[in-house]
Amino acid sequence: MSIAYLNGSYVPLAEARISPLDRGFLFGDGIYEVVPYYGAKPVGFVPHMNRMIDGLAALEINCNKTVDQWRELMDELVAKNADVGENLGVYVHVSRGADTKRFHAYPENVEPTIFAFAFAIKNPEPADRTKVTQFSVSSTEDLRWKRCNIKSTALLGNVMHYQQGHAAGNNEILLYNGNGELTEGSSCNAFIVKDGVVITPIQDNQILPGITRRIIIDSLKADGSIQVEERTVTMDEVRNADEIWITSSSKEIAPVTKLDGQPVGNGEVGEVWEAAFKIYSASKFDY
Ligand code: PDD
């Protein structure tokens, strides 16, 4: 049975209860993270927690847990959920907490609500371009807000975009801004490959600073065999790319072979994907 953490206690997930006046419920006023654990070992634990601490500071939510305290809490949750799966995603969520009324301004003297639970995630994909799961995506203009760098629990913009891709039979949807420049996917970052060079949009307010994205860039740079660029990427470049990848903590690096019903490159998973996935997989636990 799935065990959750809620405000200091470990409880069965189905029994966890919060107030309907919780501002996470009323306003989406909170920050969340998803940390992947493979065989009880996390990937990118410190960067994930630093991103959460930055998000909490941006929202002025006073939650003073240290990275070490988070580690203890989440390792314990993983241990308590060993029967849920060998590989777990740990969802952790800090909302501003429950007020006594519904009022937009930040209340004073409210305790943040801290909630976490673990869910089974898939085994990593094989680093083999002939066997890996292929993704198909659609694309649309990014209609979310201008603070996509904050990992807020207010995800309606992402949810509506994701649903648009899902309803059309795709696994994801790529988003582009009003200038026709790629931002990211509705729940992932995006990369293209052209002539052997790996290219991804710069980290600004239009995208989430993805931890998987960061590990890919850093591990490829450390390895040195594949060139990586962070720069503006137009949708024309996306449509003419040799390869497209989407990346997140749960997907790792997923190769996209269809965009808006058209084949990406030659329609097969690319060689650069396979080489990059091997480099990423060999070093992901170092981050
Ligand atoms: N999604 N961009 C968006 C909008 C995301 O929601 C995510 C992650 C990413 C990738 O970030 P990371 O590599 O740190 O997982 C980029 C998570 C997994 C989710 O909401 O379930």
128 in a structural domain: no
Give the contacts of 250 (CB within 8 A, at least 6 positions apart).
34, 36, 89, 121, 122
User: Which pLDDT band holds residue 188 (cuts at 50, 70, 90)?
Assistant: very high
Q: Would residue 151 show up in a list of annotated catalytic residues for this protein?
A: yes
Clarify whether residues 177 and 280 are in a common domain: yes
Domain holding 42, by residue range, is 3-120
Same domain, 47 and 7: yes
Exactly one of 101, 131, 146, 151 is catalytic; which is it? Answer: 151
Q: 1 falls in which pLDDT band (50, 70, 90)?
A: confident
Question: What CA–CA distance (Å, rounded) separates 251 from 125?
Answer: 9
Is the residue at 127 inside a domain?
A: no
Q: Is 113 in the pocket of ligand 1 (CB under 6 A)?
A: no
Report whether pLDDT(79) > 80: yes
Minimal CA–CA distance to 176: which of 187, 186, 168, 166?
186
Is 126 part of any domain? no
Q: Specify the pLDDT at position 204.
A: 98
Kindly give the pairing relationship between strand 189-194 and strand 182-185. Answer: unpaired
Residues 168 and 202 in one domain: yes
**Ligand 1 centroid distance, CA of 148 (Å):** 11
Residue closest by Cα to atom 2 of ligand 1: 188
* Residue 144 shares a structural domain with residue 24: no
Statement to judge: residues 113 and 230 lie in one domain: no
Indicate which CATH number applies to the domain containing 218: 3.20.10.10
pLDDT for the residue 170: 98
Last residue of a domain, one of 65, 93, 120: 120
Picking from 66, 89, 120, the residue at the C-terminal end of a domain is 120
Domain annotation covers residue 112: yes
Average pLDDT score over the chain: 97
Least confident of 1-5, 173-177, 209-213, 246-250: 1-5
Residues 164 and 248 in one domain: yes
**Number of independent structural domains in the chain:** 2
Quote the pLDDT of residue 140. 98
Indicate whether 70 pLDDT > 80.
yes
User: Is position 219 within any domain?
Assistant: yes
- Average pLDDT for 203-215: 98
Verify whether ligand 1 is closer than 6 Å to residue 34 (CB atom). Answer: yes
Reported as a single tens digit per residue, the pLDDT across 54-69 is 999 999 999 989 999 9
Candidate of 46, 188, 215 to mutate for ligand 1, largest count of ligand atoms within 8 Å of Cβ = 188
- Answer yes or no: do 115 and 139 share one domain: no
- CB 216 less than 6 A from any atom of ligand 1: no
Q: Are residues 164 and 102 in the same domain?
A: no
Whole-prediction pTM: 0.97
